[in-house]
Amino acid sequence: MISGGFSRVYEELGPQFERATGHKLVTLRGASMGGSATSIPERLKRGVAADVVIVVASSLDEFIQAGNVAAAGRTDLVRSRIGLAVRAGAARPDLSAVAAFQQTLVAAIHPVRAASS
With the CA atoms of 65, 34, 80 and 73 taken in that order, what torsion angle do they form, in degrees rounded to the nearest 10?
Answer: 30
pLDDT in tens, 70-89: 999 899 888 777 777 888 98
Measured in residues, the chain has a length of 117
User: Cα 72 vs. chain centroid, distance in angstroms?
Assistant: 21
Per-residue pLDDT of the chain (117 residues; tens, 9 = 90+): 999 888 888 999 999 999 999 999 999 999 988 889 999 999 999 999 999 999 888 888 989 999 999 999 899 888 777 777 888 988 888 888 888 888 888 888 876 655 555
pLDDT at 16: 96
Question: From CA 95, how far away is CA 16, in angstroms rounded?
Answer: 42
Q: Are 1 and 54 in contact (CB under 8 A)?
A: yes
Q: Are 8 and 60 in contact (CB under 8 A)?
A: no
pTM for the full predicted model? 0.63
Backbone angles phi, psi at 78, to 5 degrees: -160, 150
pLDDT at 115: 56
